[in-house]
A and B are shown apart, each in its own frame.
Chain A
Amino acid sequence: MAQDDLSRSPTRRTLLAGAAGAAASLPILANATSPKPSAASANANANVSLALNVNKRAWRLTLDPRTTLLDALRHHIGLTGSKKGCDHGQCGACTVLVDGRRVLSCLTLAVSVQARPVATIEGLASDEQLHPMQAAFIEHDAFQCGYCTPGQIMSAVACVEEGHARNDEEIREYMSGNLCRCAAYPKIVAAIRDAAAKMRA
């Protein structure tokens, strides 16, 4: 594990108390600058020092290069909104945005996205104002257990911004990478249709 890993795993309580609380021991850079990745790296298994830009905040971490972006977010930065479902790119629960595009954080090595902006569910609302997609999911009751919901919402925001939410059929096709074992699909489609109109307005 990383040398400056958060040995005290953040609990749900500490996270609720303040997003930065659990990660206070990590130095936070003033700017999202990163060291230039070097071709000359250390031996296998050696930790790597890297900079991540998550929700417009910069983090400097020392990680095992095997660490996925999902595990870096959840275990090293303390942002547990992105969920680990299958951990093999099949369920979409770990969906985040990198460079504004939706990707699967479980198949992304953290070291490979240095300095590129990462957006997670925790950064979606502005102050106390929910993003229209979050509000629509609540309004339409578009979940039951909620485990897939952060991934659904991040994927849905990107789906609308890509221009792939023009009708229900298109929403279903372009959201097919996000599975919901509670099968809340009809309500998810309704929420996205509703939010898409508000986002375009």
Chain B
Amino acid sequence: MRPFDYRHSASRAEAIRLAASQSSAVQFLAGGTTLVDLMKLDVMQPAIVVDINGLADELSDIRLDGDELRLGALARMSDVADHPDVRREYPVIAQSLQLAASAQLRNMASLGGNVLQRTRCPYFRDVSWVACNKRNPGSGCSAIGGIARSLAILGTSEACIANYPGDFAVALAALDAKVELQGPAGRRVIAFSDLHRLPSDAPHVETTLLPGELIVGFNIPTASWTRRSLYLKIRDRKSYEFALVSAAVALDLDGDVVRDARIALGGLATKPWRSIAAEASLRGQRLTADLARAVAEVALTDARAEGDRAFKAELGRQTLVRALLQCGAMEI
């Protein structure tokens, strides 16, 4: 690990000021489960680490407020996953967190850090591969043509096929969540779907965060579909593994007719992948196995599943079919 200057800040304004002063070389430290790991691997090399755990008292709220769920950026994954209001009113949120990582990591990792976790692309994590457009912009991509079965088939570019690895962010994308940010220029609230960028020709720029900006929290609206929601995660082993494919699904049903729906996919895309076209193809229809299959075809239409990740398109379709039918059968 390279040397860094450790700062501990008990004030939000001070933390942001420190981070804005040398933005590219500064990282906030919350749970550290991504940062410390990647610093040991020499993938991340911050000159300054600003420990924000002193802000936990003000940024750890888990609160159901009438028409929305408020989650502070420093709330820990385990506390949100176990929260009775979240489990009852937003099953897809609770499940996405509970099915992620391990009990120890969930105790450590903050929600803000969780959504910013870096890809698990093996060529990104191993610096002996010089060509990685995320690590070394312009150097090329070792994964294209390499071993890529865990990587993305949606949202890829000629420069990068690294998948977004998280689960919670997929649930947030499905549910129209907003994310509150605070930076040197003040506060702003953006749609969660606008937080992550597609790799395009600049895969090293992963988010739309401005220099020094800190994630303060998440607001997830309560809607007619939030109670009937679930997260289905398919992986190589039963527990403690990243998704090969996952689906976050929420349905508002009138009998067996879909009034409204929210769908996002994980594991197989370069960012948390909302499928608005798939949602539209459900609306006003009777939820049947045939309809679910047709919706899944729509959701994966743009998939570029080649070589050793060709299987992920069909796995994605079958995962979404199962998620939709299970969600439709939920008793709420």
Interface size of B by CB at 8 A reads 37
- Cα A37 to Cα B9 in complex, Å, equals 8
Which residue in chain A gives the minimum CB-CB distance to B8?
A: A37
Contact indicator B6/A109 (Cβ below 8 Å): yes
- Cα A68 to Cα B37 in complex, Å, equals 11
- Cα A159 to Cα B104 in complex, Å, equals 10
Pick from A48, A89, A176: contact of B37, CB below 8 A: A89
The number of residue pairs between A and B whose CB atoms lie closer than 8 Å in the complex comes to: 104
Contact indicator A103/B108 (Cβ below 8 Å): yes
Instruction: Judge if A31 is at the interface, Cβ distance under 8 Å.
Output: no
Contact indicator B8/A104 (Cβ below 8 Å): no
Given the known inter-chain contacts A38-B8, A39-B18, A173-B239, please indicate yes or no for A102 contacting B3, CB distance below 8 A. Answer: no
Residues of the B chain whose Cβ atoms lie less than 8 Å from the Cβ of A108: 32, 36, 108
Which residue in chain A gives the minimum CB-CB distance to B79?
A: A101
Identify the interface centre among B6, B11, B32, B239: most chain A CB within 10 Å of its CB. Answer: B6
Residues of the A chain whose Cβ atoms lie less than 8 Å from the Cβ of B222: none
- Cα A130 to Cα B239 in complex, Å, equals 31
Instruction: Judge if A150 is at the interface, Cβ distance under 8 Å.
Output: no
- Cα A76 to Cα B210 in complex, Å, equals 39
Residues of the B chain whose Cβ atoms lie less than 8 Å from the Cβ of A145: none
Interface residues of A in 149-201 (CB under 8 A from B): 155, 158-159, 162, 164, 172-178
Contact indicator A112/B32 (Cβ below 8 Å): yes
Instruction: Judge if B88 is at the interface, Cβ distance under 8 Å.
Output: no
Residues of the B chain whose Cβ atoms lie less than 8 Å from the Cβ of A178: 102
Pick from B14, B40, B107, B239: contact of A176, CB below 8 A: B239
Contact indicator A103/B107 (Cβ below 8 Å): yes
Contact indicator B6/A39 (Cβ below 8 Å): no
Residues of the A chain whose Cβ atoms lie less than 8 Å from the Cβ of B78: 101
Instruction: Judge if B4 is at the interface, Cβ distance under 8 Å.
Output: yes
Given the known inter-chain contacts A89-B37, A108-B36, please indicate yes or no for A177 contacting B5, CB distance below 8 A. Answer: no
Interface residues of A in 58-101 (CB under 8 A from B): 64-66, 68, 87-89, 92, 95, 101
Contact indicator A177/B36 (Cβ below 8 Å): no
> Would you give the shortest CB distance from A86 to chain B, in whole angstroms?
10
27 A–B contact pairs at CB < 8 A? A37-B54, A39-B8, A39-B9, A39-B14, A40-B7, A44-B48, A87-B40, A101-B107, A102-B107, A104-B104, A104-B105, A107-B32, A107-B108, A108-B32, A108-B36, A109-B32, A111-B8, A111-B51, A155-B104, A164-B103, A173-B239, A174-B103, A175-B103, A176-B102, A176-B103, A176-B239, A176-B240
Q: Which chain B residues have a beta carbon within 8 Å of chain A's beta carbons?
A: 1, 3-11, 14, 18, 29, 32-33, 36-37, 39-41, 47-49, 51, 53-54, 78, 101-105, 107-108, 238-240
